[in-house]
Chains A and B, each alone.
Chain A
Amino acid sequence: MSDHTGPQTDATADHRPATSATTAGALGGSPARQPPAERAQPPSPGKPVVRRGDRLFRAAAVSSGGLIVGIIAAIGLFLLLQAVPALRVDQVNFLTSRLWNTDSLTNLRFGILDLLLITVTVSLFALIIAMPVSLGIALFLTQYAPARLARPFAYVVDLLAAVPSIVFGLWGIFVLAPALYPVAAWLNTHLGWLFLFSRRAGAPSLQGGGNLFTAGIVLAVMILPIITAVSREVFERTPREQIEGALALGATRWEVIRTTVLPFGRAGYVSGSMLGLGRALGETIAIYIILSGTALSFSGSLFDGGATFASKIAQAAPEFNNPTLAGAYVSAGLVLFVLTFVVNAAARAAIAAGER
Chain B
Amino acid sequence: MARRLDLEHVNIYYGNFHAVSDVSLMVPPHSVTAFIGPSGCGKSTVLRTINRMHEVIPGARVEGRVLLDGEDVYGPGVDPVDVRRTIGMVFQRPNPFPTMSIRDNVVAGLKLQGVKNKAKLNETAEQALRAANLWDEVRDRLNKPGGGLSGGQQQRLCIARAVAVAPDVLLMDEPCSALDPISTLAIEDLISELKRDFTIVIVTHNMQQAARVSDQTAFFNLRATGEPGQLVEIDQTQKIFANPTQRATEDYITGRFG
Tell me the bound Cα distance from A245 to B95 in angstroms: 6
Q: How far is the CB of B30 from chain A (nearest CB, A)?
A: 22
**Are B109 and A249 in touch, CB under 8 angstroms?**
yes
Cβ of B53 under 8 Å from chain A: yes
**Are A259 and B108 in touch, CB under 8 angstroms?**
yes
**Are B81 and A251 in touch, CB under 8 angstroms?**
yes
Pick from A147, A242, A251: contact of B95, CB below 8 A. A242
Pick from B96, B97, B165: contact of A250, CB below 8 A. B165
Cβ of A241 under 8 Å from chain B: yes
Cβ of B255 under 8 Å from chain A: no
Cβ of B242 under 8 Å from chain A: no
Q: How far is the CB of B147 from chain A (nearest CB, A)?
A: 8
Which of B85-135 touch A at CB < 8 Å?
A: 85, 88-89, 91, 93, 95-100, 108-109, 112-113
**Are A247 and B95 in touch, CB under 8 angstroms?**
no
Q: Please, which residues of chain B bring their CB within 8 A of the CB of A255?
A: 112
Tell me the bound Cα distance from A252 to B84 in angstroms: 10
Give chain A's interface secondary structure class. Answer: helix
Q: How far is the CB of A143 from chain B (nearest CB, A)?
A: 12
Q: How far is the CB of A26 from chain B (nearest CB, A)?
A: 16
Q: Please, which residues of chain B bring their CB within 8 A of the CB of A147?
A: 58
Tell me the bound Cα distance from A239 to B96 in angstroms: 11
Q: Please, which residues of chain A bring their CB within 8 A of the CB of B161?
A: 245, 249
**Are A249 and B99 in touch, CB under 8 angstroms?**
no
Cβ of A260 under 8 Å from chain B: yes
Tell me the bound Cα distance from A242 to B89 in angstroms: 13
**Are B97 and A252 in touch, CB under 8 angstroms?**
no
Cβ of A70 under 8 Å from chain B: no
Residue of B nearest to A252 (CB): B81
Residue of B nearest to A2 (CB): B147
**Are A248 and B88 in touch, CB under 8 angstroms?**
yes
Q: Please, which residues of chain A bring their CB within 8 A of the CB of B58?
A: 147
Q: How far is the CB of B158 from chain A (nearest CB, A)?
A: 7
**Are B108 and A248 in touch, CB under 8 angstroms?**
no
Tell me the bound Cα distance from A264 to B145 in angstroms: 13
Residue of B nearest to A354 (CB): B99
Which of A232-258 touch B at CB < 8 Å?
A: 239, 241-242, 244-252, 255
**Are B56 and A245 in touch, CB under 8 angstroms?**
no
Q: How far is the CB of A38 from chain B (nearest CB, A)?
A: 29
Pick from A241, A242, A245, A249: contact of B85, CB below 8 A. A249
Tell me the bound Cα distance from A247 to B89 in angstroms: 10
Q: Please, which residues of chain A bring their CB within 8 A of the CB of B108?
A: 246, 249, 259
Between A147, A244, A255, A264, the greatest number of chain B beta carbons within 10 A of the residue's beta carbon is seen for A244
Which of A257-287 touch B at CB < 8 Å?
A: 259-260, 263-264
Residue of A nearest to B99 (CB): A263
Cβ of B153 under 8 Å from chain A: no
Cβ of B82 under 8 Å from chain A: yes
Residue of A nearest to B167 (CB): A250
Q: How far is the CB of A5 from chain B (nearest CB, A)?
A: 14
**Known: A250-B109, A255-B112, A259-B108. Contact between A245 and B97, CB under 8 A?**
yes
Q: Please, which residues of chain B bring their CB within 8 A of the CB of A242?
A: 95, 97-98
Tell me the bound Cα distance from A95 to B98 in angstroms: 46
Tell me the bound Cα distance from A265 to B188 in angstroms: 36
**Are B95 and A250 in touch, CB under 8 angstroms?**
no
**Are B53 and A260 in touch, CB under 8 angstroms?**
no
Q: Please, which residues of chain B bring their CB within 8 A of the CB of A252?
A: 81
**Are A250 and B91 in touch, CB under 8 angstroms?**
no
**Are B53 and A250 in touch, CB under 8 angstroms?**
no
**Known: A147-B58, A242-B95, A242-B97. Contact between A247 and B112, CB under 8 A?**
no
Q: Please, which residues of chain A bring their CB within 8 A of the CB of B84?
A: 247-250
**Known: A244-B91, A263-B99. Contact between A250 and B56, CB under 8 A?**
no
Cβ of B249 under 8 Å from chain A: no
Residue of B nearest to A240 (CB): B95
Cβ of B230 under 8 Å from chain A: no
**Are B95 and A244 in touch, CB under 8 angstroms?**
yes
Q: How far is the CB of A73 from chain B (nearest CB, A)?
A: 36
Q: Please, which residues of chain A bring their CB within 8 A of the CB of B112?
A: 249-251, 255, 259
**Are B85 and A250 in touch, CB under 8 angstroms?**
yes
**Are A248 and B89 in touch, CB under 8 angstroms?**
yes
Q: How far is the CB of A50 from chain B (nearest CB, A)?
A: 32
Q: Please, which residues of chain B bring their CB within 8 A of the CB of A239?
A: 95
Q: Please, which residues of chain B bring their CB within 8 A of the CB of A263?
A: 97, 99-100
**Are B165 and A249 in touch, CB under 8 angstroms?**
yes
Q: Please, which residues of chain B bring their CB within 8 A of the CB of A246?
A: 97, 108
The 9 closest A-B pairs by CB, nearest first: A250-B85, A241-B95, A248-B89, A249-B109, A245-B95, A250-B84, A263-B99, A250-B81, A251-B112
Q: A244-B56, A246-B108 are in contact. List 18 more A-B contacts (CB 8 A).
A: A147-B58, A239-B95, A241-B95, A242-B95, A242-B97, A245-B91, A245-B96, A245-B161, A246-B97, A247-B53, A247-B84, A248-B84, A250-B84, A250-B165, A251-B81, A252-B81, A259-B100, A264-B99
A selection of 30 A-B contacts at a CB cut-off of 8 Å is A239-B95, A241-B93, A242-B95, A242-B97, A244-B56, A245-B91, A245-B96, A245-B97, A246-B97, A246-B108, A247-B56, A247-B84, A248-B53, A248-B89, A248-B91, A249-B85, A249-B112, A249-B161, A250-B82, A250-B84, A250-B109, A250-B113, A250-B165, A251-B81, A252-B81, A255-B112, A259-B108, A259-B112, A260-B97, A264-B99
